[in-house]
Amino acid sequence: MKKHETFADVISARGIERRDFIKYCSLIGTYLGLSAAMVPKIIFAMETKPRIPVIWLHGLECTCCSESFIRSAHPITADIVLNMISLDYDDTLSAAAGHQLEAVRKQIMKEYKGKYILAVEGNAPTKDNGVYCMIAGDSFTNVLKETAADAMAVIAWGSCASFGCVQNARPNPTGAQPVHKIIKNKPIVNVPGCPPIAEVMTGVIAHLLTFGKLPELDRLKRPKAFYGTRIHDQCTRRSFFDAGMFVESFADDGAQKGWCLYKMGCKGPTTFNSCAGIGWNEGVSYPIKSGHPCIGCSEPNFWDNGPFYTRLAEIPFVGTNSNADKIGMVAVGAAAAGMAAHAVGTVIKNKRSQAETTEKED
Amino acid sequence: MARLYEEQYVWRLPVRIYHWINAICITILFPTGLYIASPIFSPSIGEAVWYHQMAWIRYIHFGTAFVFLANFLFRLYWALFGNDRYARFAGFQPWKPIWWGQPFKDQLASYLFIRKDEPNYCGHNPVAALTHFLFVFCGSIFMLMTGLAMYGETNTGGFIDTLFGWVMLVFGSTHAMHTMHHLVAWLFPVYLILHIYAVVRHDIVDRSSTTSSIITGYKHRVEECPEYAD
Amino acid sequence: MARKIVVDPISRIEGHLRIEAVLGDDNVINEAYSSGTMWRGLEIILKGRDPRDAWAFTQRICGVCTTVHALASVRCVEDAIGATIPPNARIIRNLMNATQHTQDHLVHFYHLHALDWVDVVSALSADPKQTSVIAQSISPWPKSSPGYFSDLQKRLTAFVESGQLGIFSNAYWGHSGYLLPPEVNLLAVAHYLEALDFQKEIIKIHTVFGGKNPHPNYTIGGVATAIDPDGSNVINIEQLNMIKKIIDDTNTFIDQVYIPDLIAIAGYYKGWLHGGGLGNFLSYGDFPETDINDPSSYLWPRGAILNKDLSTVYDDIDPKDPKHITEEIAHSWYEYDRGMKKLHPFNGQTKPKYTGPELPYKYLDTDKKYSWLKTPRWKDNPMEVGPLARVLIAYAKGNDEIVGLVDYVLDQLKAPKAALFSTLGRTAARGIECKQTAGLMRHYYDQLIANIKAGDTRVFDDALWDPERWPDDCKGFGSTEAPRGALGHWIHIKDRKIADYQIVVPSTWNASPRDAKGRSGAYEAALKGTPMVDPEQPLEILRTIHSFDPCLACASH
Ligand code: HEM
Ligand code: HEM
Ligand code: NFV
Ligand code: SF4
Ligand code: SF4
Ligand code: F3S
Ligand SMILES: [Mg+2]
């Protein structure tokens, strides 16, 4: 019989010492925000659990979630793909193509019924019978439903799969809808971000592998461990925000000194993500650190909450160039004008009725 | 020509105190809120850690917000259990067609100069009641709910977030909720203009000391009495 | 009897591509049809938005060539409003672009293309000692001991024996088209894994300047990343040092791993010279040394070659001229107003109209419309774009560096110049270009340091940041040579908002369906005439299609 090889087997086959293996497990624990007491559990899981089959589908998307995934450093991607999971179907990386590849998907669905993970990158067009994304002659929407039916759980990678992202921005020409709008009866974890941070993606997988279930989720179905805090609350520029020291132009002194980007439209105060904590590409930087405001890429509808470089959003139902202050000032102006007009009306009315009274008295 | 003055005790002390706390809160909340959205003052020298300009404005906004909340809850209590004839909400029943009947129509017609006479009410006239309900009652609830939801986000899973965090789902995203909190904030200055105008106008038209009533509590019914002519 | 085979999905590419091929009795491909099966509507979504945000929207066209659309977009908006950027911003953008090329090409070679030539299962039977000998004979790369390869082989064996083959499931292992000896296969698998680990280092340069990768940040008017070698919160000496180290390591990796592997593997496939295709090549040129508005200062020349004729390079390429660049929709699921046939992007239209077969279908109706891609033309010619086009144009123009590299590779392989017009030529050109762009990374780093030394740290020009200062109505063009070829963005700004935005993408040129005259694009042309060993196993189709490095999310957008 074929032996199911565990992560620990592979690690030792590579000549990695047990001490390093344990260190690695505690690192994962730290990323997942777990207490030290949980580390033995991770070690146990890595030593005993066989690899979980994963089917990774691509819908309307840009594949940058996959690209982000292969940037993972803890653990490195090769370890995940070869040792932690069994990435059996992924059109971006799979060696087979065409019907040979589709056969793999069908086989996993059958052989691992209820036991495989469905990872979805991108989302599904709902207009015109789904013709805006077709795979092997069928709509992606159908393929998604079919593959989800027997999955243990669904991971929605990135803002596309989680919330809709760019193709779902106004006017959403293809009727793109996120995964949770299509798949209603499966546990779903949303891992938003455009793209999500690599270590957040692999952290979710490590959690699944370690505990055999999805991580704890918030009300938008995001893992609390990575989406529990706003960027703003962990931001390295926060002291400048509190002090009121703001960049007003990318060419000014404040920019040169790394002040707060709030007035350049930074969406950090309204964005839940780990950018300021874990950081990007092994913690080298994150958007704000490199001088550009956060555009809120892990938030629902962030494309339509713009423009990106102003603090105040356009109010969608009023139109472009509108914002709360402009609308408010027009309303105040209208109230003042109405008041003035009414006052004039009152004076005229009083004069008239006075005149009437005088007439009567006469 | 002589006048008959009838003194009426309309606004009891709790209502007056509520009113002025409310007025002060809003006067603080609105500008601090706008400042939060578009800060202008910036310390020019020294280190960021020395200053807390923005932080202070936000503290003031949040601190005031909780006073505003407590005051609001008190007024709610008073309306329901205060046994105060003029401060009860009992008469305000816009879900009943009768409420929109003659008195409301007459008052509206008068405001629109369709009717000549000015109905005179001791408490709120129905149009004023409706305005207060929409602007002050609904507006305050909206600002409180969104405000508390935003406030809770600094400590997700905390008490306030647990109670109010769901509000965000109504707007789709935290950012959209900020936008709506900001947009609805403008109801208050609009209301203030209409409100003060209406108060002062009634004072002049009815000669009922409406303006001072919210300080002293007393209004006056004034009637021309030709038979007591001098 | 002719038979039609379908490969859908084409894997190891970006996006959703379907190939339908008609084979003759001899199993030679007589006709091929390339269909992009996804469309999102970015050109429609962009309308009415703030032009300063356009880079972010267009960047999401693709996360594999992430950055190139952002670059084309900021150039396009700057062209429209007349903005200029400081020299440091030009250098940083060039550095980021060179970084993108280097990383993208490396990932393409090892992770998207190599398995067309490398048989993973065969590596199990290799002699690791022999692999070590081969490795040491072709390169000084230190990871080449027998122990290293035998550890890897053990790991691979354990993996295969587990029965869970993951991404290697159900592929074409053992196909007679695989020609490498087991030892070279093992070497390639080792480098597949090493490259997977290493590529993420290269890209950290984007993270420094753009805050993250994929999808680093851009801004019109320069870059937002302030530089101060003595500063504490901005780019300082620590980051600059890190960049330098990454650049050094990258050059070492390309020189000691990629190029030797390329030559070693290509050596076994010298006889497989299919996939030449159109023979027409186009490049907008890129890497401005002075001003973006002066194409003569580009390190990568602008030009076109027709009919494989390297003696003439056409220089007169004007993307703003309606006679130069057009897009047709004769076989695309779109419609144009009043039945118009071809449009220049300044007058471009994007109106989807699916007329293909009802879902699910077995075959597309390739006589009619059959793709979500439009069909671009240069002066009415179908053109191939990409590394091969750029390398040939630079070669034909006598660029010293490229001539040296091309001649070196040809010489190593003992191959004639004509061999360049092939699938393998395309793959070799990408390797050559990767080496060149790794060198460019160093070039731009040095330029940046020299400027900082001279006291110039300016990275942003805010003269035209405020839309109030823009003209009421303006048009602009921005291009970049993306990893996959010539990329153009055309914008029309009206009242400070995007009125129209049209994008013509490298993979649109290459993967497009036929034009009204029935002429094929580069993919279809390249597949034509290719013999297949076993039509059930589309290895040959994958090889040639992969040699273009398809990106279909780009192509249809
Ligand atoms: C932000 C500022 C203000 C708000 C939100 C506000 C709100 C209110 C509310 C809700 C009431 C109804 C009282 C109740 O039943 O509880 C009221 C009544 C009243 N307020 Fe104000 N007020 C404001 C400012 C002022 C100012 C500045 C004045 C004086 C100039 C004023 C004078 C009055 C008077 C005279 C009444 C009684 C009017 C009546 O009979 O309907 N208010 N106000
Ligand atoms: C009349 C009542 C209020 C007015 C006029 C008001 C006004 C504003 C405005 C204009 C903003 C800026 C919004 C933005 O652009 O992000 C703001 C922010 C905010 N307000 Fe209020 N507000 C009121 C009541 C409240 C209440 C009751 C709370 C409850 C805690 C609250 C909490 C907040 C919070 C948390 C913010 C966000 C601050 C930040 O992002 O730093 N507000 N308010
Ligand atoms: N084709 C294409 Fe791209 C590239 N290179 C973009 O312009 O791939 Ni994603
Ligand atoms: S979420 Fe963003 S990054 Fe990921 S596929 Fe969608 S557009 Fe690309
Ligand atoms: S830069 Fe953005 S996230 Fe950071 S403190 Fe300022 S507003 Fe908050
Ligand atoms: S733009 Fe996205 S990457 Fe992080 S800092 Fe903002 S959420
Ligand atoms: Mg286009």
Q: Which of A231, A267, A273 to mutate to test the pocket of ligand 5 (most atoms within 8 A of CB)?
A: A231
**Are A116 and A201 within one domain?**
yes
Question: Of A174, A195, A227, at which residue does a domain stop?
Answer: A227
Question: B137 lies in which domain range?
Answer: 2-41+51-228
Question: How far C307 CA sits from the closest chain A CA (Å)?
Answer: 32
* Chain A residue numbers touching B190 (CB-CB < 8 A): 331-332, 334-335
* Chain C residue numbers touching A9 (CB-CB < 8 A): 158
**Are A74 and A127 within one domain?**
yes
User: What CA–CA distance (Å, rounded) separates C230 from C116?
Assistant: 49
Q: Angle at CA C156, nearest 5°, toward C150 and C162?
A: 140
The pLDDT value recorded for residue B229 is 42
Nearest-CA residue for ligand 4 atom 2 is A194
pLDDT tens-digit series, residues A183-201: 999 999 999 999 999 999 9
pLDDT at A20 over 70: no
Contact B/A (≥3 CB pairs under 8 Å): yes
Q: Which residues line ligand 1 (CB under 6 A)?
A: B 15, 19, 22-23, 26-27, 75, 87, 124, 128, 132, 136, 192, 195-196, 199, 210-211, 213-214
| A199 within a domain of the structure (yes/no) | yes
**Are A181 and A199 within one domain?**
yes
| A1 within a domain of the structure (yes/no) | no
pLDDT tens-digit series, residues C481-522: 999 999 999 999 999 999 999 999 999 999 999 999 999 999
Q: Please report which confidence band the pLDDT of residue B230 belongs to, taking 50, 70 and 90 as the band edges.
A: very low
Average confidence score pLDDT of chain A: 89
Q: Is the CB of A159 under 6 A from ligand 6?
A: no
Question: What's the rounded mean pLDDT across residues A41-64?
Answer: 82
State the distance between the two ends of chain A, measured CA to CA, in whole angstroms. 119
3-state SS, one letter per residue, for C245-265: HHHHHHHHHHHHHHHHHHHHH
Average confidence score pLDDT of chain B: 89
| Residues 6 or more apart in contact with residue C518 via CB below 8 angstroms | none
| A2 within a domain of the structure (yes/no) | no
* ipTM score for this prediction: 0.94
User: What CA–CA distance (Å, rounded) separates C101 from C388?
Assistant: 14
Indicate the residue of C63, C206, C217 with minimum beta-carbon distance to A195. Answer: C63
- Residue B34 has which token pair? 């706008």
- Interchain contact, B183 vs A328, CB within 8 Å: yes
Q: Which residues of C are catalytic?
A: 14, 62, 65, 69, 484, 507, 551, 554
Please state the domain count of chain A.
3
| B143 within a domain of the structure (yes/no) | yes
**Are A287 and A221 within one domain?**
no
C residues 269-288 closer than 8 Å to A (CB): none
| B46 within a domain of the structure (yes/no) | no
Q: Count how many residues are written for chain B.
A: 230
Nearest CA-CA partner of A245 in A259, A257, A235:
A259
- Interchain contact, B197 vs A342, CB within 8 Å: yes
Q: Please report which confidence band the pLDDT of residue B122 belongs to, taking 50, 70 and 90 as the band edges.
A: confident
Q: Which of B214, B215, B219 to mutate to test the pocket of ligand 1 (most atoms within 8 A of CB)?
A: B214
| A333 within a domain of the structure (yes/no) | yes
| B29 within a domain of the structure (yes/no) | yes
Crossing angle of the two packed helices A39-48 and A198-211, in degrees rounded to 10? 80
- Give the range with max mean pLDDT: A246-260, B5-19, B89-103, B105-119: A246-260
pLDDT at B188 over 60: yes
pLDDT at A207 over 60: yes
User: What CA–CA distance (Å, rounded) separates C481 from C67?
Assistant: 11
- Interchain contact, C217 vs A292, CB within 8 Å: yes
**Are A259 and A204 within one domain?**
no
| Residues 6 or more apart in contact with residue C370 via CB below 8 angstroms | C33, C35, C331, C356, C364, C513
Q: What is the chain A residue with the closest CA to C556?
A: A132
**Are A250 and A212 within one domain?**
no
* C479 bridge partner residues: C488
The pLDDT value recorded for residue A27 is 65
Question: What's the rounded mean pLDDT across residues A109-125?
Answer: 97
Q: Please report which confidence band the pLDDT of residue A74 belongs to, taking 50, 70 and 90 as the band edges.
A: confident
Cα C56 to chain center, whole Å?
A: 19
Give the count of beta carbons closer than 10 Å to the beta carbon of residue B101. Answer: 11
pLDDT at A6 over 80: no
**Are A211 and A236 within one domain?**
no
| B67 within a domain of the structure (yes/no) | yes
The pLDDT value recorded for residue C161 is 86
| B111 contact A CB<8A | yes
Q: Please report which confidence band the pLDDT of residue A79 belongs to, taking 50, 70 and 90 as the band edges.
A: confident
Contact C/B (≥3 CB pairs under 8 Å): no
**Are A200 and A235 within one domain?**
no
Question: pLDDT over 70 for what percent of chain A?
Answer: 85
Q: Which of A56, A63, A64, A90 to mutate to test the pocket of ligand 4 (most atoms within 8 A of CB)?
A: A64
The pLDDT value recorded for residue B86 is 82
Task: Compute the distance from residue A275 Cα to the ligand 5 centre, in Å.
Answer: 12
| Residues 6 or more apart in contact with residue C226 via CB below 8 angstroms | A250, A255, A256, A258, A291, C234, C235, C457, C459, C460
The pLDDT value recorded for residue A31 is 60
| C51 contact A CB<8A | no
| B41 contact A CB<8A | yes
User: Which CATH number covers residue A252?
Assistant: 4.10.480.10
User: What CA–CA distance (Å, rounded) separates C497 from C47?
Assistant: 8
pLDDT at A40 over 70: no
CB contacts < 8 A, A to B, total 133
Which of the residues in chain C have pLDDT under 70?
A: 1
| A348 within a domain of the structure (yes/no) | yes
User: What CA–CA distance (Å, rounded) separates C112 from C146?
Assistant: 27
| A260 within a domain of the structure (yes/no) | yes
Nearest-CA residue for ligand 4 atom 6 is A160
**Are A143 and A252 within one domain?**
no
Pairing of strands A52-58, A85-90: parallel
- Residue A249 has which token pair? 């132009």
pLDDT at A97 over 80: yes
pLDDT at B1 over 80: no
The pLDDT value recorded for residue A30 is 63
pLDDT tens-digit series, residues A289-336: 999 999 999 999 999 998 999 999 998 788 778 999 999 999 999 999
Atom of ligand 1 nearest to the CA of B211: 35
| A303 within a domain of the structure (yes/no) | yes
Q: Please report which confidence band the pLDDT of residue A1 belongs to, taking 50, 70 and 90 as the band edges.
A: very low
Question: Of A201, A227, A253, at which residue does a domain stop?
Answer: A227
What is the number of alpha carbons within 13 Å of residue C384 lying toward its C-beta?
33
Question: Of A171, A203, A227, at which residue does a domain stop?
Answer: A227
The pLDDT value recorded for residue A211 is 83
Question: A304 lies in which domain range?
Answer: 229-322
Nearest CA-CA partner of C374 in C347, C337, C339, C349:
C349
**Are A55 and A181 within one domain?**
yes
User: Which CATH number covers residue B95?
Assistant: 1.20.950.20
User: Which CATH number covers residue A84?
Assistant: 3.40.50.700
Please state the domain count of chain B.
1
Q: Angle at CA C415, nearest 5°, toward C413 and C416?
A: 155
B residues 71-100 closer than 8 Å to A (CB): none
pLDDT tens-digit series, residues B26-43: 999 999 999 999 998 877
| B213 within a domain of the structure (yes/no) | yes
**Are A175 and A268 within one domain?**
no
Residue of higher predicted confidence among B124 and C224: C224
User: What CA–CA distance (Å, rounded) separates B96 from B119?
Assistant: 22
Are C498 and C51 a contacting pair, CB within 8 Å? yes
Task: Compute the distance from residue C101 Cα to the ligand 3 centre, in Å.
Answer: 11
- Interchain contact, A286 vs C166, CB within 8 Å: no
Contact C/A (≥3 CB pairs under 8 Å): yes
Task: Compute the distance from residue C556 Cα to the ligand 7 centre, in Å.
Answer: 7
**Are A122 and A234 within one domain?**
no
Question: How far C129 CA sits from the closest chain A CA (Å)?
Answer: 17
The pLDDT value recorded for residue A293 is 98
Write the DSSP assignment of A206-246 as a string of letters. Answer: HHHHHHSSPPPB-TTS-BHHHHSSBGGGT-TTHHHHHHT-B
